[in-house]
């Protein structure tokens, strides 16, 4: 199958747009220059009195009254002359409260085909010293002014002319940087690994690994003027796969740059992770929770990890499930795992730009992976581990009644974070001031190096074990009990249901792996494997190792089960 992979490198400083303060020397009265700070501004093609501008192809609209105009970007009041020049250059000044760095600016002019044909960019530092002065001649309505500039605090853009005569200047977007796309001969190989644990005993990180060829030196790590200096935390990569025959484009997910190495002079090797990998790099302070809704707990974890609402989605049926228990200080990924395990859900980023939280269900009708799409001699089938029982510990945290010394030591001037190995409450401090705390930590402030004592009470964890076993266990079968004791959001209200879910997972299941030609199959899909076995095997896809540049081939693993025949055969 002929396909083409594309990886878009987003070298755009998203913080610069938020930080920008724009002003212009010329504009129409209906223009709000702050429109250029919007992320979702889209042009509406209005017919105007500009010469030969109103195409009669149905793509233009009549302009409404001025009071009804909105989201117009920047339209100049001045119109260019018979050769496209402005009598007085149009000037935009962009000031920032802090310094930024980018590989230039990307302008989006009018999709109707009208754009500035000559402009100048001047960059200034915090002391208002000129640090770059470059001219450009755009040749498209989307134009990248490539020019790596670091630590600028002001940009002055002068627009001198338009590509068509008798035109207003129209600007709809400004991006502080540019998108660089690797595809075709520039993309040597690319591979995506997707994985999901159906029980959420772990929340997996999906990865992207790819190797590129760059004829110039921009991606050389040791090039002081290269792109390496512009790398930002959470540098975004968008991946697509195009099916050449029908020009169908499949979104393969959003990843974030994690590693970058020069393999040879012009060959670069990159590694990237999904959002779950990003939140695995930061810590969550945890807490004691009583009847918190699943939605509110997830929002607390995500907000702490500096994600916004658009970065995650929660299945509607899960939102109002309540949880009671404890989360220790851990990574945000580990906190997410504690939460989704306690409600029997999974968290997954595959083929998406967000973390999706949902329950995995068995389907009545299963999509079929055809035998003709499976590579010969790659199919393997093995019995999964036989588990005859699940022992799960329920936690019940209550207030202790005895005050204890929780910390006794010397802290340096300033603020010090003290961690506790058990949840605590009602803290008092001598020798310093508690400026922030929860059940897992306290931040102590002192004006000079001091001896500090922190006293408080400990929560008591009243443990209770629940055992769920296979019914009618054969005397000849060897017992194998799985023990779960560190799921701190498991309590007496959800212990049995989660134990049953885990036990059911291990009953009559098989691990099936094979290589095949990937079509529309996605992680956690419940699919039927058309094969050489007498029984009908169905199962959820738990792993996909996808070769993006080798014809969209994949190695996969299924948590398979034998599907009972229907009454109709």
In a domain, 134, yes or no: yes
Check whether residue 40 and residue 119 sit in a common domain.
Answer: yes
In a domain, 417, yes or no: yes
Check whether residue 37 and residue 114 sit in a common domain.
Answer: yes
Check whether residue 413 and residue 482 sit in a common domain.
Answer: no
Q: Are 336 and 279 in contact (CB under 8 A)?
A: yes
In a domain, 5, yes or no: no
In a domain, 402, yes or no: yes
Check whether residue 381 and residue 507 sit in a common domain.
Answer: yes
Check whether residue 287 and residue 378 sit in a common domain.
Answer: no
Q: In the prediction, which pLDDT does 568 show?
A: 47
In a domain, 265, yes or no: no
In a domain, 252, yes or no: no
Check whether residue 380 and residue 404 sit in a common domain.
Answer: no
In a domain, 185, yes or no: no
Q: In the prediction, which pLDDT does 285 show?
A: 97
Nearest-CA neighbor of 96 among 131, 138, 124?
124
Cα angle for residues 104, 307, 542 (degrees, 5° grid): 105
- The CA-atom distances, in angstroms, between 380 and each of 44, 509, 510, 512, 556 are 56, 14, 10, 6, 11
Residue with token string 């002929």: 2
Given 120, 145, 180, the domain boundary residue is: 180
Q: In the prediction, which pLDDT does 112 show?
A: 80
Check whether residue 333 and residue 453 sit in a common domain.
Answer: no
In the chain, how long is the greatest CA-to-CA distance?
A: 96
- The structural domain count of the chain equals 4
Check whether residue 436 and residue 481 sit in a common domain.
Answer: no
Cα angle for residues 269, 270, 272 (degrees, 5° grid): 160
Q: Are 294 and 314 in contact (CB under 8 A)?
A: yes
User: What's the pTM?
Assistant: 0.83
Residue with token string 């760059």: 214
| CATH of residue 334 | 3.55.50
Check whether residue 39 and residue 149 sit in a common domain.
Answer: yes
Nearest-CA neighbor of 36 among 177, 172, 143, 179?
172
Check whether residue 172 and residue 36 sit in a common domain.
Answer: yes
Given 134, 164, 180, the domain boundary residue is: 180
Q: Are 169 and 74 in contact (CB under 8 A)?
A: yes
Check whether residue 421 and residue 471 sit in a common domain.
Answer: no
Q: H-helix or E-strand containing 498? A: helix 495-505
Local confidence pLDDT in tens for the 569 residues of the chain: 688 999 998 777 778 988 999 999 999 888 888 888 877 777 666 767 777 666 656 566 667 666 667 777 898 999 999 999 999 999 999 999 999 988 889 999 988 888 999 999 999 999 999 999 999 999 999 898 988 888 999 999 999 999 999 999 999 989 898 878 889 888 999 999 999 999 999 999 999 999 998 777 666 666 656 666 666 556 889 999 998 878 889 999 999 999 888 877 788 899 999 999 999 999 999 999 999 999 999 999 999 999 999 999 999 999 999 999 999 999 999 999 999 999 999 999 999 999 999 999 998 889 999 999 999 899 998 888 889 999 999 999 999 999 999 999 999 999 999 999 999 999 999 999 999 999 999 999 999 999 999 999 999 999 999 999 998 777 666 789 999 999 999 999 999 999 999 999 988 788 999 999 999 999 999 999 887 666 688 999 999 999 999 889 999 999 988 876 554 44
Check whether residue 376 and residue 485 sit in a common domain.
Answer: yes
Helix axis angle for 294-304 and 332-343, nearest 10°, is 170
Given 340, 358, 376, the domain boundary residue is: 358
Bridge partners of 133, per DSSP, are: 122
Nearest-CA neighbor of 523 among 301, 346, 337, 335?
346
What is the residue range of 523's domain? 367-393+465-562
Nearest-CA neighbor of 466 among 392, 521, 402, 519?
392
| CATH of residue 51 | 2.60.120.260
User: CA 225, CA 7: separation in Å to the nearest integer?
Assistant: 22
Radius of gyration, CA atoms only, the chain? 30
- Could you tell me which residues come within 8 angstroms of residue 234 by beta carbon, excluding any fewer than 6 positions away? 256, 278
Look up residue 540 and give its two tokens: 């959820």
Q: Are 452 and 410 in contact (CB under 8 A)?
A: yes
In a domain, 111, yes or no: yes
């Amino acid at each position: 199958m002929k396909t083409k992979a594309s990886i878009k490198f987003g070298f755009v400083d998203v913080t610069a747009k938020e930080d920008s303060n724009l002003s212009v020397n010329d504009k129409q009265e209906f223009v709000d220059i702050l429109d250029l700070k919007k992320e979702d501004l889209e042009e509406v093609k209005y017919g105007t009195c500009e010469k030969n501008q109103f195409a009669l192809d149905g793509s233009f609209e009549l302009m409404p009254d001025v009071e009804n105009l909105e989201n117009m970007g920047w339209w100049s009041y001045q119109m260019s002359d018979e050769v496209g020049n402005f009598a007085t250059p149009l000037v935009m000044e962009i000031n920032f409260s802090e310094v930024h760095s980018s590989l230039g600016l990307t302008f989006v002019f009018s999709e109707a085909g009208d754009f500035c044909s000559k402009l100048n960019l001047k960059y200034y530092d915090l002391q208002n010293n000129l640090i770059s002065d470059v001219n450009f001649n755009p040749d498209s309505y989307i134009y990248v002014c490539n020019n790596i500039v670091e630590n600028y605090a002001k940009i002055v853009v002068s627009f001198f002319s338009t590509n068509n005569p008798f035109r207003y200047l129209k600007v709809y977007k400004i991006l502080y940087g540019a998108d660089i796309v690797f595809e075709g001969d520039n993309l040597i190989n690319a591979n995506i690994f997707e994985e999901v644990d159906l029980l959420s005993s772990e929340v997996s990180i999906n990865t992207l690994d790819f190797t590129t060829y760059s004829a110039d030196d921009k991606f050389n790590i040791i090039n002081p003027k290269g792109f390496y200096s512009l790398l930002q935390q959470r540098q975004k990569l968008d991946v697509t796969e195009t099916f050449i025959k029908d020009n169908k484009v499949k979104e393969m997910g959003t990843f974030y740059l994690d590693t970058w190495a020069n393999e040879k002079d012009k060959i670069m090797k990159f590694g990237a992770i999904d959002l779950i990998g990003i939140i695995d790099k930061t810590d969550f302070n945890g807490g004691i929770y009583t009847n918190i809704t699943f939605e509110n707990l997830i929002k607390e974890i995500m907000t702490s990890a500096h994600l916004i609402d658009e970065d995650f989605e929660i299945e509607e049926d899960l939102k109002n499930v309540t949880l009671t228990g404890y989360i220790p200080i851990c990574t945000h990924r580990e906190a997410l795992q504690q939460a989704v395990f306690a409600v029997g859900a999974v968290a997954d980023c595959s083929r998406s730009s967000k973390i999706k939280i949902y329950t995995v269900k068995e389907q009545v009708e299963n999509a079929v992976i055809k035998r003709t799409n499976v590579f010969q001699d790659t199919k393997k089938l093995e019995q999964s581990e036989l588990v005859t029982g699940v022992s799960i510990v329920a936690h019940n945290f209550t207030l202790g009644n005895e005050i204890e010394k929780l910390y006794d030591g010397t802290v340096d001037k300033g603020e010090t974070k003290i961690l506790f190995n058990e949840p605590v409450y009602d803290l008092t401090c001598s020798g310093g001031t508690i400026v922030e705390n929860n059940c897992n930590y306290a931040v102590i402030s002192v004006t000079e190096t001091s001896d500090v004592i922190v006293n408080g009470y400990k929560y008591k964890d009243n443990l209770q074990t629940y055992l769920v076993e296979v019914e009618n266990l054969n005397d000849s079968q060897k017992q194998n009990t799985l023990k779960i004791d560190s799921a701190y959001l498991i309590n007496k209200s959800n212990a049995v249901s989660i134990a049953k879910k885990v036990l059911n997972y291990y009953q009559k299941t098989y691990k099936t792996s094979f290589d095949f030609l990937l079509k529309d199959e996605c992680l956690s899909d419940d699919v039927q494997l058309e094969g050489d076995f007498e029984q009908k095997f169905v199962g959820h896809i738990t792993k996909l190792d996808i070769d993006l540049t080798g014809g969209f081939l994949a190695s996969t693993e299924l948590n398979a089960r034998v599907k009972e025949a229907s009454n109709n055969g």
